[in-house]
Structure 1
Amino acid sequence: MYLHGTSKINAQGHLEIGGCDTTDLAKQYGTPLYIVDEALVRQRAREYVESFRASGLKFQVAYASKAFSVMAMCAIAEQEDLSLDVVSDGELYTALKAGFPVQRIHFHGNNKTPDEINMALDANIGCFVVDNFVELQLLNALAGDKGKKANVLLRVTPGVEAHTHDYISTGQQDSKFGFDLANGSAYRAIQETDALTNLELLGVHSHIGSQIFEVEGFQMAAAKVAEFAVQIRSELDVTFRVINLGGGFGIRYTAEDKPLPVAQYIKAITDAIKTNFSEANYPLPEIWVEPGRSMVGDAGTTLYTIGTSKDIPGVRKYIAVDGGMTDNPRPALYESKYEAVIANRANAPIEETVTVAGKCCESGDKLIIDCELPKAEIGDLLAVFCTGAYNYAMASNYNRIRRPAVVFVKDGQSDVAVKRESLDDIVGNDVIPARMKQASTAK
């Protein structure tokens, strides 16, 4: 059993996280329940910041809030001297409501609406990451209407294919994101941006994918971006002050995953930047990165209560929990794998291999296939590890199932960061049109 962060098995044989017994958390808050190990989140943040400080380069570490966007996480990001990426008005609003410093907010996205851009301009955010020519013109026009000049990075696709799932690879040429280096669109975007009066070009952004376990892709992207920067300075007399190499740093979900230490990723990136830019006699730019999953992924645990079971002799045994694809759609989307433990009997010996099924009305609602566990009983608590990223963020109300609460735990204290949805919340935005009410009365 691999335990992350502050997780341990206590004297009662129960899983404990952040000094809190998970059986007590289940009694107090109910299940399903997202549990966040606050100390581990802060540790990860400090690993990034300290690794960059050791490089001597100017830098920003921006937490990619798409991984897990709640006000409490924004507060931690501020306290740990991080910047913040947002990709929608909802994520921006969350950051603003949390009081996050606006100059450290970066706005991403391949289809920002005029309303979202205006909201960000009114808030005076630090930077827009521009994704296409349509957005370039729209942002320039809207900034001009407000008498403002917006800082921008241009997102480029460097043609680097990360060794990851197709749906989370973003740096290859065939991508919905960014201006392509190979076909000349990135070059034309620089020319166009430089001519627009309401935009201030800081540099370029590159992101090659997610859940990456090697440094070669980042090094190759750094080299390609540096080569492009040198060409742009030589031919267009434009010098990049900022290079953003994105995120995608992998974490351990199962024993198959072999992530590198944060310091190793960052040293590879900063060394590649120093080498490629220094050799070209180019001023060393400020380096930005955007960790999301690697900041919060292994700090999250989802706690379920086990209910029914079904044994199909010679085929499979299912055990069902009180959540499923509504609180974790990643297995259905990406065939993502997880590890789990019976939280209230964490020291019990392994007795069987089961498939953990959710309660949604979908045959594909399987959280873990071939999970080795002690013999599960009704009422046992199942803890699924590494659910801090893209779980709450992607949760839904399919089957009108309520989204779980989120609690942060640290030093024996637990605090609600997101309240559990109520049944009234489920119907809170529903409206029966007056004509339908009239039709019912007429009968």
Structure 2
Amino acid sequence: MKLRGTSRINEQGHLEIGGCDTVELAHRFGTPLYVMDETMIRRRIRSFVEAFEKTGLSYRMAYASKAFSTLAMCRLVAEEGLHLDVVSDGELYTALKAGFPPERIYFHGNNKTLDELVMALDAGIGRFVADNFTELALLDQLARDRGRRVKVILRTTPGVEAHTHHYIQTGQEDSKFGFDLESGQVHQALKQCLTSEGLEPEGFHCHIGSQIFESDGFRLAVRKMAALAAECRQSLGFRTRILNLGGGFGIRYNEKDQPMPVDHYIAAIAEEVRQGFAGGELPQIWLEPGRSIVGEAGTTLYRVGTVKEIPGLRKYVAVDGGMNDNPRPALYHASYEASLANRAGEEPAETVSIAGKLCESGDMLIWDIPLPRVNTGDLLAVSCTGAYNYSMANNYNRLRRPAVVFVRDGEASEVVRRETLEDLIRNDRVPGRMGAPESLMPSE
């Protein structure tokens, strides 16, 4: 497993992250355990900022909180000076509870509910990324009821299909997201905004997909958006003040993944923006990375349980988690690297497959990975689990969701406590007709 961020192998032969021995972390906080390298997260954020500073463009960086959203993460993002995008009332509530400045929050999503729109308006968030005509009409009415004008950015599907898994392509024409560019929907949406009393359009948004390893898709998206901006300037007199190009920057999960350095992505985008908007005023460029900020900073620790060998076929090594704390292998056939955290310096001696403990044949975390000879009780560390692991965690088989710790300079801070058995039934109720004790009956 490639060492990342502040990770190293210490004198005891243990994997160490953020100055903390993972063997000690597992003993203190239990397993499975999400370990987040705080220093690495901050470095990744700053690498984006530094890359943009070199371009000389006006820019804004936002963290896509869907990748990993907790109170502590929202505080970290606020400290680093970024904005924040949210896609639900839960993510918004988390940000507000963390004290994140509401004016630096903007709301995404293809089906924002009335309650969510009201909550966001009343909180005073900065902007809405409008996704469809239903939302525009509702948002306009709510704004007018409050005697306000709401700033909106129109999400556009530019017809760019990124080279990634089809579940996480979002920029193609046939998408549940955004106003279609080719059919003229986005022009119609802009006209609707310009003639409304409650909406103030500022520009356009597009997001072509996730886990993208080249710049060609971003370049093509910029060209299409620049052409859109020019058409809207000529036909409607609208100046595009903001061009939000989303995120999707790839990370390295294993040796097959070869992402570009951050500054290469940003330089390519900047070059295309200058060419596409040559002769006119450049818009402010927005990006909203999520996975590329937290993905490689996360490591999940598991305790090895049973070991099953099928002679001549396969050796299964089962751990105390699985698709409940990391559903990505089952969803996307995602591939990961791993090591034995308690024997991190040892050379591989066998090839095994890492199985989860859930009651599904498809609950496999890693197929055919070389490791030192694995024994019951060993500590397995799976790398690059910082994005879409905790945020997708679930209680299938009534397993408890793991704790999350931030590690930095030898200090480990529990930022999400491990769920208890009581947490699992906290919201359960039993009808009185079943003879349940009063404490388990529904409240009036």
Q: Sort the TM-score into its range (normalised by shorter chain).
A: over 0.9
Task: Give, as a single letter, the amino acid of the residue that structure 1 aligns with 2:162.
Answer: A
- In the TM superposition, residue 202 of structure 1 has moved relative to its aligned partner by 0.7
Opposite residue 365 of structure 2, the aligned amino acid is L
Does structure 2 retain, via aligned residues, the 8 Å contact 1:180–1:186?
Answer: yes
Paired residues of 1:253 and 1:298 also in contact (CA < 8 A):
yes
More displaced stretch, 43-52 vs 109-118: 43-52
CA distance in 2, matches of 1:268, 1:134: 35
Runs of 4 or more consecutive aligned structure 1 residues displaced over 6 Å after TM superposition: none
Q: How many residues are aligned here?
A: 438
1:188 corresponding residue in structure 2: 188
Kept after mapping to 1: 8 A contact 2:405/2:415: yes
Determine the C-alpha separation between the residues in 2 that align with 1:235 and 1:270: 26
CA distance in 2, matches of 1:205, 1:188: 15
- For 2:296 and 2:357, locate their aligned partners in 1 and report how far apart those are by CA, in whole Å: 24
Matches within 5 A, 1:26-425: 26-278=26-278, 281-425=279-423
**Deviation of residue 438 (structure 1)?**
6.8
Q: Deviations over 1:223-250 (max 9, x none)?
A: 0000000000000111110000000000
For the 8 Å contact 1:246–1:289, the answer to whether it is kept is yes
Decide whether the 8 Å contact of 1:63 with 1:291 is kept in 2.
Answer: yes
Mapped contact 1:331–1:367 kept (Cα < 8 A): yes
Give me the TM-score of the superposition, normalised by structure 1. 0.98
Asked whether the 8 Å contact 2:430–2:436 carries over to 1, the reply is no
Aligned residue in 1 for 2:427: 429
2:23 is aligned to 23
SS for the counterpart of 1:119 is helix
Counterparts of 1:131 and 1:289 in 2: how far apart (Å)? 17
Deviation by residue 1:89-130 (Cα, 9 ceiling, x = unmatched): 000000000000111101000000000000000011001000
Q: What SS does the aligned partner of 1:220 have?
A: helix
Q: 2:441 corresponds to which residue?
A: none
CA contact (8 A) 1:14 1:346 kept: yes
SS of structure 2 residue aligned to 1:417: strand
* Cα distance, 1:53 vs structure 2: 1.5
1:325-363 Cα deviation digits (max 9, x unpaired): 000000000000000000000111211111100000000
| Whole-angstrom CA distance in 1 between matches of 2:297 and 2:315 | 29
The secondary structure found in structure 1 opposite 2:435 is: helix
| TM-aligned CA deviation for residue 397 of structure 1 | 0.2
Report the TM-score when normalising by structure 2.
0.97
Q: In structure 2, what is the Cα distance between the partners aligned to 1:67 and 1:321?
A: 24
> What letter corresponds to residue 353 of structure 1 in structure 2?
T
Q: How far did 1:142 drift?
A: 1.2
Q: How far apart, CA to CA, are the structure 2 residues paired with 1:359 and 1:40? A: 30
Distance of 1:426 and 1:439 partners within structure 2: 18
- Are 2:306 and 2:319, in contact at CA under 8 Å, matched by a contact in 1? yes
Equivalent AA in structure 1 for residue 306 of structure 2: T
Partner SS state of residue 111, structure 1: coil
Deviation at 1:295, TM superposition (A): 0.2
What is the alpha-carbon distance in structure 2 between the residues aligned to residue 438 and residue 425 of structure 1? 19
Separation in structure 1 between the aligned mates of residue 38 and residue 437 of structure 2, nearest angstrom: 53
Structure 2 Cα separation of the partners of residues 296 and 72 of structure 1: 13
Give the superposition deviation at 1:267.
Answer: 1.0
- 1: CA distance, partners of 2:91 / 2:39: 23
Kindly indicate whether the alpha-carbon contact (under 8 Å) linking 1:230 and 1:282 is maintained by their aligned counterparts in 2: no
| Mapped partners of 1:23, 1:413: distance in 2 | 14
In structure 2, C-alpha distance between the alignment counterparts of 1:439 and 1:422, rounded to whole Å? 21
SS of match in other structure, 2:208: coil
Given that 1:13 and 1:346 are in contact with CA atoms closer than 8 Å, whether structure 2 keeps it comes out as yes
Conservation of the 8 A alpha-carbon contact between 1:320 and 1:358 = yes
Q: Please list every run of 5 or more consecutive structure 2 residues that lacks an aligned counterpart in the other structure.
A: 439-444
CA distance in 2, matches of 1:439, 1:423: 19
Contact 1:150 1:198 in 2 (8 A): yes
Q: 1:436: Cα distance to partner?
A: 2.2
